[in-house]
Amino acid sequence: MHEMSLCEGIRQVIEDQARTHKIKAVRRVRLEIGRFSGVEKPALEFAFDVVMRGSVAEGAALEMIDLPGRAMCYDCAHEVEIADRLAPCPDCGGGKLMPVAGDEMRIKDLEVI
């Protein structure tokens, strides 16, 4: 389950920010998760609760924001939204697409006290 290690990385970022900005507690963590990131959301939610125990983010709500997959179509030169990596271009039907977004996962923001 790589979601556990993802949450350990998130915890490290949160703890670093808590030390730097003298944060007492984190109430909400908002993550942006790309369609192609391979993150299993139920597993991430479970891992988040487990990994945050004993940290400033213990009990924090986890909000996951879905980001679409995007690709550059070499046939029509448009950047388009795609449902999966092997989907044809929705504009021209072409099959020469290079994914340019959708595999990211990042902390968007933290609600803190």
Check pLDDT > 70 for residue 1.
no
* Mean pLDDT for the stretch of residues 26-44: 97
Query: What is the C-alpha to C-alpha distance for residues 22 and 98, in angstroms, rounded to an integer?
Result: 43
Q: What is the pLDDT of residues 49-85, one digit of tens each?
A: 999 999 999 999 999 999 999 999 999 999 999 999 9
pLDDT of residue 28: 98
Contact 92, 103 (CB under 8 A): no
- CA 8, 100, 91, 93 dihedral sign is negative
- Which candidate, 33, 100, 31, 37, places its Cα nearest to that of 66? 33
Question: Whole-model pTM?
Answer: 0.89
CATH of 2-69+102-112, one of 3.40.225.10, 3.40.50.460, 3.40.50.2300, 3.30.2320.50: 3.30.2320.50
